[in-house]
């Protein structure tokens, strides 16, 4: 594979140290997980695998993950105080070591309990230089980078659903950068992932949800505008 | 970057009569679809963070989260004022700025990865020193950064900039090569001279392993950043005096890559071999993490981290 780098991949990102993979990437993972959950969780359990579990304290991986959950970006000055901020908000946080199997050394499983009690589980890896990859949502194996606004659609695996969805996106003039389909078994549940060139609004999301055989629709905007985290000035 | 290697870069710069910085900025505009003002502004943001990260440690004692490093940049700042330095103000300043960035990084402060967080002190230190000691103006600094980034992209595309893949030569080596290119360009050198600078820096950093104590970006990373900044500046002088590299830039990049591939894993950011594997390296690791790394009674497990940590004494080395 030909590697290609832009100038801002070389000089940048602006980030809170000390490590692009263990700190900046971890913050990004936390933020995407929160984006997938759709709201601020009440309780979060982080299961750390491999290098993440061995060195997370020294690299501030714990603070970075929680900062992401709170909606902070990897360059947010409050990142190092995220554990305190989460505590003040009454968010329950715990970290533990766990062998997540044959995955990248810097992998974390984030289990978020929401206000209504339902649990959202997201697994992702920090693959270097601050780049990340999400590999699992709840029990579904999927894959996306979070570098684009991402649309995740769970559906029943029947012919025609993909066509209906892409038609809807076409009509809304939404351009698709990458698209992939993951299914557990023929005819059973499947997840479609669209990485888009632009954000989409509530109206389109509603229309997508009404497409036949679509179970639910999640949308993760670009990480910098997932949420406006209110600054706590105590 | 849509370019194969240094040779192709030189050819284009020559044909179009442009600098490496101009080439890189045009490439970025083409690929991103952004205007000149937008890419300029984006790089300016990086420069502003560099200004912050180079000066913070000189002006106040910055101590790392682990307590392993800190306060050294502050010492150099004071030493600079004494006007007694052996290697001259420019070198002392550059070293102080480089250490500052590394200390800010290790204290969970804001830095620009360039090309990585581990090597985040070299390019900013060199740029700020050039600004203050040689009066380089903002626009030229920005073009210098683009030149450095262009060279960095060629290195990353043909080799690696990751310590886990190629050792410290890939991180601090690349950063110093990038910085030296920027200096030569800002001082009016030709693109060819710039590539000579990059080549000579690599020749002097080849083989450098990545052996951080406890796997933390602190020892020996901070001082290697200082050394990298010095190397970038001194090599620029050699080149500006008319000295060329016998081995062309592209060959030094491929040498760096092949050496990286030959390096055992213990010397590639695993915190196992080299300095990390010494008696002292192991002892320091134990002091920081305790016997079992996940035990909750040691220093690193203080999860109510706040400013009290910053002022704590560093571990006595």
pLDDT digits (tens, 9 = 90+) for A100-158: 999 988 999 999 999 999 999 999 999 877 889 999 999 889 999 998 899 999 998 88
Query: Percentages helix, strand, coil for chain B, rounded to the nearest 5?
Result: 65, 0, 30
- Tell which wins on pLDDT, A216 or B112: B112
Write down the domain spans for chain A: 7-138, 150-223
Please check the confidence at residue B212 and state whether its pLDDT lies above 60. yes
Query: Is B66 in Cβ contact with A58 (below 8 Å)?
Result: yes
Please check the confidence at residue B273 and state whether its pLDDT lies above 90. yes
Average pLDDT, stretch B61-66?
A: 94
| pLDDT in the model for residue A31 | 95
Average pLDDT, stretch B214-220?
A: 94
At the second CATH level, the architecture of A150-223 is 2-Layer Sandwich (3.30)
Å between A97 CA and nearest CA of chain B: 8
Å between B216 CA and nearest CA of chain A: 6
Q: Does A234 touch chain B (CB under 8 A)?
A: no
pLDDT along chain A (234 residues), means of 10: 82 93 94 94 96 84 97 95 97 96 93 97 90 92 91 90 93 92 82 91 92 91 47 27
| pLDDT in the model for residue A130 | 84
Query: Is B31 in Cβ contact with A18 (below 8 Å)?
Result: no
Query: Is A4 in Cβ contact with B115 (below 8 Å)?
Result: no
ipTM: 0.92
| Superfamily (CATH H level) for A7-138 | D-3-phosphoglycerate dehydrogenase; domain 3 (3.30.1330.90)
Residues 196-235 of B with CB under 8 A from A: 214-218
Could you list the beta-strand ranges (E) of B37-178: 110-112
Write down the domain spans for chain B: 6-310
| pLDDT in the model for residue A223 | 59
Going by C-alpha positions, the residue among A190, A102, A99, A181 that lies closest to residue A140 is A190
| pLDDT in the model for residue B291 | 60
Long-range contacts of A211-215 (CB under 8 A, 24+ apart): A211/A155, A211/A161, A211/A164, A211/A165, A211/A168, A212/A161, A212/A164, A213/A155, A213/A156, A213/A158, A213/A161, A214/A153, A214/A154, A214/A155, A214/A161, A214/A165, A215/A154, A215/A155, A215/A156, A215/A189
| pLDDT in the model for residue B298 | 41
Q: How far is CA B91 from CA B80, B95, B116, B196, B227, in A?
A: 10, 6, 22, 21, 10
| pLDDT in the model for residue B292 | 52
Residues 73-132 of B with CB under 8 A from A: 104-118, 120, 123
């Amino acid at each position: 594979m030909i590697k290609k780098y832009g100038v801002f991949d070389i000089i940048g990102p602006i980030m809170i140290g000390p490590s692009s993979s263990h700190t900046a990437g971890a913050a990004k993972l936390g933020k995407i997980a929160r984006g997938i959950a759709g709201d601020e969780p009440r309780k979060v359990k982080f299961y750390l695998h491999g290098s993440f579990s061995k060195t997370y304290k020294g690299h501030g991986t714990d603070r970075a993950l929680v900062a992401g959950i709170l909606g902070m970006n990897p360059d947010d000055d409050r990142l190092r105080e995220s554990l305190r901020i989460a505590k003040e908000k009454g968010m329950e946080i715990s970290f533990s070591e766990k062998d997540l199997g044959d995955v990248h050394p810097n992998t974390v499983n984030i289990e978020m309990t929401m206000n209504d009690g339902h649990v959202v589980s997201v697994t992702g890896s920090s693959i270097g230089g601050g780049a990340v990859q999400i590999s699992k949502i709840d029990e579904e194996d999927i894959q996306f980078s979070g570098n684009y606004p991402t649309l995740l659609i769970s559906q029943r695996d029947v012919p025609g659903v993909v066509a209906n969805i892409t038609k809807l996106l076409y009509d809304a003039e939404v351009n698709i950068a990458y698209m992939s389909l993951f299914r557990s078994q023929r005819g059973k549940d499947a997840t479609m992932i669209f990485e888009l060139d632009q954000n989409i609004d509530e109206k389109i999301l509603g229309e997508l949800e009404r497409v036949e055989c679509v179970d639910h629709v999640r949308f993760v905007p670009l990480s910098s505008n997932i949420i406006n985290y209110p600054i706590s000035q105590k | 970057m849509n370019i194969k290697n240094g040779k192709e870069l030189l050819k284009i710069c020559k044909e179009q009569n442009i600098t490496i910085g101009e080439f890189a900025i045009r490439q970025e505009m083409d690929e991103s679809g952004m205007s000149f003002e937008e890419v300029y502004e984006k790089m300016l943001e990086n420069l502003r963070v560099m200004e912050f990260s180079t000066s913070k440690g000189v002006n106040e004692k910055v101590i790392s989260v682990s307590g392993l490093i800190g306060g050294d940049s502050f010492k150099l700042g004071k030493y600079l004022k004494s006007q007694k330095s052996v290697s001259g103000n420019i070198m002392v300043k550059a070293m102080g700025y480089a250490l500052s960035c590394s200390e800010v990084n290790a204290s969970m402060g804001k830095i620009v990865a360039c090309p990585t967080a581990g090597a985040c002190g070299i390019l900013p230190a060199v740029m700020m020193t050039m600004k203050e000691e040689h009066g380089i103006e903002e626009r030229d600094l920005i073009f210098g950064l683009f030149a450095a980034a262009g060279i960095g992209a060629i290195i990353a595309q043909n080799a690696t900039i990751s310590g886990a893949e190629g050792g410290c030569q890939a991180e601090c080596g690349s950063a110093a090569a990038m910085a030296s290119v920027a200096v030569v360009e800002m001082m009016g050198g030709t693109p060819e001279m710039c590539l000579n600078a990059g080549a000579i820096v690599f020749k002097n950093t080849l083989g450098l392993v990545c052996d951080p104590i406890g796997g933390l970006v602190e020892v020996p990373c901070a001082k290697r950043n200082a050394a990298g900044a010095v190397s970038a500046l001194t090599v620029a002088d050699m080149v500006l005096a008319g000295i060329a590299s016998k081995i062309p830039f592209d060959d030094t990049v491929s040498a760096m890559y092949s050496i990286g591939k030959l390096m055992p894993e213990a010397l590639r950011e695993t915190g196992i071999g080299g300095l990390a594997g010494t008696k002292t390296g192991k002892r320091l690791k134990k002091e920081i993490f305790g016997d079992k790394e996940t035990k909750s009674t040691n220093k690193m497990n203080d999860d109510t981290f706040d400013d009290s940590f910053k002022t704590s004494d560093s571990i006595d080395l």
